[in-house]
Amino acid sequence: MKKIYFSLLIIACFYSCSKDLEKYPLDAPSTATFPKTESEMKAALIGCFAPLNFRFQENPYIIWMDMYSDIAANRDNTPNSLWGMPTAGNVNNFWNSFYTVISRCNFLLDNFGRIEGASQKTVLETEATARFLRAYSYSVLTQLFGDVPLVTKTLSLSEAYVSRDSKSKVVDFILEELDKAAENLPDNNQPNTMVVAKVAAWGLASRVALYNERWSKAIEAANKVISTEGKQVLLNNNYEAITQRAGKTSKEVIWAIQFNYNDIFHETPLSFRSRMAGGFSNRIPVQALIDSYECIDGLPIDKSPLYNPQKPFENRDPRLGKSIALPGSIYYGYQFETNKDSLQCWNYNVNPPIRVPNLDATHNFASFSGYCWRKYADPTEQHASRSDINPIVIRYAEILLNYAEAKIESDQLDNEIYNAINKIRLRAGIPIISAGKTKQQLRSIVRKERKIELAGEGLRYFDIIRWKIAEKLLEGPCYGRIPRGYLSSAPSIDENGTPDYSLVSNNSQMRIIQTRTFVAGANYLWPIPDIEMQTNKNLKQNPGY
Amino acid sequence: MSYKPFDFLTGKLSYAPSYSQPNVTSFVKVIKTYDVNGGLRFTLPAVNTMDQSTAIDKSNQLEGTLTFLKNYSKHQIGALAGYQYLSSSNSGFSAFRDGFLFEDYPILSGGSSSNMKNNGYASEWTLLSYFGRVNYSFDQKYLFEANLRHDGSSRFAKENRWGTFPSFSAGWRISQEKFMADIKEAVNELKLRISWGRLGNQEIGSNYPFAPTVSLSPKYISNDLIQNGAAILNMANTDISWETTEMSDIGFDAKLFRHINLVFDYYYKKTHGILLELSIPKTMGVFAPFQNAGIVENKGWDLQIGYNDVDHPFKYGINFTLSDVKNKVLDIKGIQQTGTLVAREGHPLNSLYLFKSSGLLSTNDFNQDGTYKYAKQFGKIAPGDIRYADIKEDGIINGDDREVLGSTIPRFTYSLSLNTEYRGFDFSAFLQGVGKRDGYLVGNAIQPFLFSGTAYEYQKNRWTKDNPDPNSVFPRLAFGETNNTQLSDFWMKSAAYLRIKNIQLGYTTPHKLLKSIGVSELRFFVSGENLFSFDKFWKGWDPEIDAVSNGAYYPQVKTFNFGINLKF
């Protein structure tokens, strides 16, 4: 009997087991049918957005990018060390993140045929959004790398060894795609959502066209945005609020990368805040930015009678104190003072205020420049390592400046230019520009205005690259304040708003935060990532790397 | 259960199910720090959080074997046939809340419901094997064995699921031969061994590397609320199959003069189809699939020598082992990895891929106008900075000038253990070491003041204008500059070491003293772990630290123990 049982058992086992080798994932659908339904389509679109939350250390990439430029510094690295080598991590990160967005958009755009039962409107809107995201990704890639492979459909491995397409071909594609996208994107600008509105497509088109000197296209696209003023876009009367939590829903914001407090947040305040406020003061504005702000009379500090070197922060463009924590101001409830002799400061967070040891003068995590950012650092946030502020990609003030610059560069020196610039200056609270300026003067005005208005918002680096002034601005020492005093006189300010300290008598006392380097023959473009060069032999490296 | 129909045949069937349900609860409290005046400085983390998870891990193992064993005079024949079924499934879920008002009551319901989250997962795999073995020995002198396995894994697609893995071995006990009888006193035992085998490996990280799937992990935010997304993250590879290793071994075991034991092996191991995540163009926007791409060989030998004498009141034993292995990547389909630790053809796995440095720059390397005379380096450079060799000779130092300059795989590992005993006293020691290995530290270990940190004492030996010593251990201090922080062999150091891992001294009191009080054994001892090490690595750092790390983890500790053992 035992024999029979034994045999039966063995047979049963042999029979049942080999079928058991068919195992497929239990928690995810197969790629063969995806996306099948309207909700899968929506999920696929969210998948396209997701890589845009990428960040460098504490900062989303938008906020990080100003530290590549002349107006800000990153304590740990010079700009060149972040992107000036094919092996640099930032180079890889931009390349990978944006090609990930592109490939996900391509997959979605290739497979709309699979979707069943979705409303026509939703399908068209989703398709337009994917086109927008893909165009945006290419706009960043071309601006950084120049010529890049233009991949517009899902590639198999054998097709993936692509070569680079010319920048102008990619730009043509971006602008065409944005036109297509704008047709089906919704009218309503809803800045604190993932909805991409028509104004975003036009706004991005105006930027891409401007960056690529296609003036008429830039003017046309910017004009479309401007025509919705009051309905879809609006300058926020409270300049300070735009880059703070209160500004998340402001109609000045045209498109922003979305974060929240609980799930996908960033830690920008940790890297921005002063030491007293519990931060590392690691990413900071530098002296060259402080001195570019005009005086309240609309004159640069080397020209204005209102500028007092002993009290350098008085009578200045109000945006200075709104964008930057200045010595002597209150920052997160503490007296912010970075003079190395100020060993104590006020703590206003307790009542009555008390004197406490001033870490911003003594600590190794105190700001090297003596300044901190107020933009993207909001005293109402609950904690330094959780910020839900949305880094703004495009806002209305930029569109007005894009418009003005394109008009100036294409010699259409009409009133519209003054209107656009003065809207921004009026909101800022400084004198408007009076008519009758030459092209040279207007160019200088618009460049200075971009530097001040958009400081700390991730556009400065692109500006100094396209204006071909980076070789001057990113070469040599990057200065912070004089640790135990102020500059004895105003530096001279050039047509781009760049200060020159060579005639300031105590310039040798300025703190050198870092010594930078920029090679004109190479650094106007980033290198293609080393690993990509090694993997894909059809790519050619940019010159000088 | 087992069944024995004849006395030379045994059938065995065993079933071993296992079920475990680990429940994990973790609660992270908020720590607040204050300054001397009582003002709040930091609150870390931002909010208290609690994670609670429950998993169900199930596995089934079913094994059936049939064993045959029979002796015909001097011939002994054995055979075994069997199969094994192994399946495993894991599933679980977890729940999360934060913002607990009362930290002393860590129950989920006490947290805020505004940010509660839950999660779940499930996966499973199966391995099915048929195997057989035949062994034969003649007169206890000649030994043969042959094995054959046929394995099927659910981790591979149907066409590539099954792998066949044979192995053979033979032994010859020379000491049993008549012609050895004369020297039996000197050569007590001598056995020659030779073997060859092929093995398979299915452990490749993922349970479904062949199946193209859509991941549900991507998320985005809209209206301050999380939105669930989906995307293809990894490229799948349906061709993926078993990684196989072929290994040949020749060796001998010997016992000489009753006290000396000797074991020696030489082996050659070649692994085919190593599953590597090979680079694909990033323009594809997905992670690379695993591919059966690599061929790696290992050539090595092991030697053990022991001397034991327990016949006298002074008992002692010494055991020494020495082994070495040479690892070499033979083929990885031409892919050139470019990290710091790389697998490159012709070199060991985990080789150090670095710039070649050649000393520090002096003023002679610069022209009158301050420009550098030779190949362009990184950022601003000045006397006292590291010079890199322009391997490609194209006038610029870039990624192409890197070479494999070191290996992190230990060579010549050795150990020595010593045991002695004399009239109740015992002493033992264990020493261990590595003869050759390249160590590489990054971060604060080699960059003073990194991230506004501090500097170590040994970093003071640096090049300065007042002390322009070209042989300084550290280059010019160039905070925030890039030239001296490139990963080059300038920072590579020998991580060879000899370490006294353990020393123990004990005394056991004689039995007769204790019998009266009912104690059968009483022993006092002192011991120490990691007492001394000898190396030429960075001062203060453990040479066993993983290469290319900043060493920022809990180090090995030196411990001393004093103890009493009491047995009743």
Q: Is residue A17 scored above 60 in pLDDT?
A: no
Residue B91: its chain A contacts at CB < 8 A?
A: 26
Confidence at A465, pLDDT banded by 50, 70, 90: very high
Q: Is residue A169 scored above 90 in pLDDT?
A: yes
Please tell me which residue of chain B has the smallest CA distance to A18. Answer: B128
The most confident of A30-34, A397-401, B179-183, B242-246, by mean pLDDT: A397-401
Confidence at B397, pLDDT banded by 50, 70, 90: confident
Q: What integer is the mean pLDDT of B182-209?
A: 87
Q: What are phi and psi of B204, to 5 degrees?
A: -130, 30
Share of chain B above pLDDT 70, in %: 98
Judged by DSSP in three states, A184 sits in helix
pLDDT at A396: 98
Interface test with A, best of B35, B61, B279, B282 (most A CBs within 10 A): B282
β-bridge mates for residue A256, sequence order: A392
- The predicted-structure confidence for A409-430, as pLDDT tens digits, reads as follows 999 999 999 999 999 999 999 9
pLDDT at A16: 54
A–B: how many Cβ contacts below 8 A?
A: 274
Q: Is residue A9 scored above 70 in pLDDT?
A: no
Give how far A321 is from chain B: nearest CA, Å.
25
Amino acid at the residue B30: V
Q: What integer is the mean pLDDT of B221-227?
A: 95
Q: What integer is the mean pLDDT of B101-122?
A: 86
Please tell me which residue of chain B has the smallest CA distance to A190. Answer: B223
Confidence at A18, pLDDT banded by 50, 70, 90: low
- Those of residues 26-45 in B touching chain A at CB distance below 8 A are 35-37, 39-45
Distance CA A134, CA A106 (A): 8
Mean pLDDT of chain B: 88
- Those of residues 519-558 in B touching chain A at CB distance below 8 A are none
Q: What are phi and psi of A354, to 5 degrees?
A: -130, 160
Structure-block tokens of residue B421: 């005993």
Q: Which of A112-116, A156-160, A392-396, B317-321 has the lowest mean pLDDT?
A: A156-160
Q: Is residue B43 scored above 80 in pLDDT?
A: no
pLDDT at B5: 81
Q: What share of chain A is helix, strand, coil (3-state, %, to 5)?
A: 45, 10, 45
A374 versus B365: the higher-pLDDT residue is A374
Q: Is residue A330 scored above 60 in pLDDT?
A: yes
Cis peptide before A86 (omega within 30 of 0): no
- The predicted-structure confidence for A56-74, as pLDDT tens digits, reads as follows 999 999 999 999 999 999 9
| CA distances for B175 relative to A182, B76, B191, B256, angstroms | 90, 19, 7, 11
Residue A514: its chain B contacts at CB < 8 A?
A: 479-481
pLDDT at A5: 61
- The predicted-structure confidence for B451-464, as pLDDT tens digits, reads as follows 777 888 888 889 99
Residue with tokens 């190794």, as numbered in its chain? A364
- The predicted-structure confidence for A260-276, as pLDDT tens digits, reads as follows 998 999 999 999 999 99
Cβ <8 Å between B482 and A365: no
- The predicted-structure confidence for B539-555, as pLDDT tens digits, reads as follows 888 888 888 888 878 88
Residue A47: its chain B contacts at CB < 8 A?
A: 218, 229-231
pLDDT at B369: 85
| Inter-residue contact B508 to B520 (CB < 8 Å) | no
Say which of B216, B224, B281 has its CB closest to residue A162: B281
pLDDT at A14: 58
DSSP β-ladder status, A283-285 and A72-74: antiparallel
Residue A9: its chain B contacts at CB < 8 A?
A: 13, 64
Cβ <8 Å between A49 and B229: yes
Say which of B221, B284, B396 has its CB closest to residue A155: B284
- The predicted-structure confidence for B517-537, as pLDDT tens digits, reads as follows 777 788 999 999 999 899 999
Confidence at A2, pLDDT banded by 50, 70, 90: low
Residue A45 contacts B where some CB pair is shorter than 8 Å? yes
Q: Is residue B37 scored above 80 in pLDDT?
A: no
The CB density around residue A56, as the number of other CB atoms within 10 Å, is 20
Residue A27 contacts B where some CB pair is shorter than 8 Å? yes
Residue B115 contacts A where some CB pair is shorter than 8 Å? yes
Residue A515: its chain B contacts at CB < 8 A?
A: 379-380, 480-481
Please list, in sequence order, all residues whose beta carbon lies within 8 angstroms of the beta carbon of residue A226, skipping any fewer than 6 positions away.
A233, A399, A400, A403, A420
Residue B231: its chain A contacts at CB < 8 A?
A: 44, 47-48, 50, 104, 107
Amino acid at the residue B409: I
- The predicted-structure confidence for B261-270, as pLDDT tens digits, reads as follows 999 999 999 9
Distance CA B483, CA A515 (A): 12
- Those of residues 57-96 in A touching chain B at CB distance below 8 A are 75-78, 80-81, 84-87, 92, 95-96
- Those of residues 175-204 in A touching chain B at CB distance below 8 A are 192-195
Q: Is residue B333 scored above 80 in pLDDT?
A: no
Q: DSSP string of B253-278?
A: EEEETTTEEEEEEEEEEEEEEEEEE-
Distance CA A25, CA A29 (A): 8
Residue A365: its chain B contacts at CB < 8 A?
A: 452
List the one residue out of B502, B489, B562 whose CA is nearest residue B531.
Answer: B502
| Inter-residue contact A385 to A377 (CB < 8 Å) | no
| Inter-residue contact A151 to A110 (CB < 8 Å) | no
Cβ <8 Å between B37 and A354: yes
User: Phi/psi class of residue B205: alpha, beta or left (left: φ > 0; alpha: ψ in -120 to 50)?
Assistant: left
Structure-block tokens of residue A340: 């190395």
Structure-block tokens of residue A152: 């517009």
Say which of A18, A26, A49 has its CB closest to residue B220: A49
Share of chain A above pLDDT 70, in %: 97
Confidence at B377, pLDDT banded by 50, 70, 90: confident
Cβ <8 Å between A10 and B152: no
Cβ <8 Å between A76 and B223: no
The most confident of A110-114, A135-139, B124-128, by mean pLDDT: A135-139
List the one residue out of B448, B429, B386, B436 whose CA is nearest residue B537.
Answer: B436
Confidence at A3, pLDDT banded by 50, 70, 90: low
β-bridge mates for residue A514, sequence order: A478
Strand positions, DSSP E, B397-490: 403-407, 411-422, 425-436, 438-440
Cα Rg of chain A (Å, integer): 27
Domain ranges of chain B: 1-111
Residue A36: its chain B contacts at CB < 8 A?
A: none
Give how far A299 is from chain B: nearest CA, Å.
35
DSSP state of B441: B
Mean pLDDT of chain A: 94
Q: What integer is the mean pLDDT of A495-510?
A: 96
- Those of residues 423-482 in A touching chain B at CB distance below 8 A are none
| CA distances for A110 relative to A34, B38, B516, B526, angstroms | 11, 61, 91, 73
A530 versus A29: the higher-pLDDT residue is A530
- The predicted-structure confidence for B156-189, as pLDDT tens digits, reads as follows 888 888 999 999 999 999 988 888 888 888 889 9
Q: What is the ipTM of this complex?
A: 0.93
Structure-block tokens of residue B392: 């490609």
Distance CA B450, CA B480 (A): 9
> What is the separation of C-alpha A364 from the centre of its chain, rounded to a whole number of angstroms?
28
Confidence at A27, pLDDT banded by 50, 70, 90: confident
Cβ <8 Å between A162 and B3: no
Q: Which of A165-179, A350-364, B49-63, B542-556 has the lowest mean pLDDT?
A: B542-556
Please tell me which residue of chain A has the smallest CA distance to B46. Answer: A383
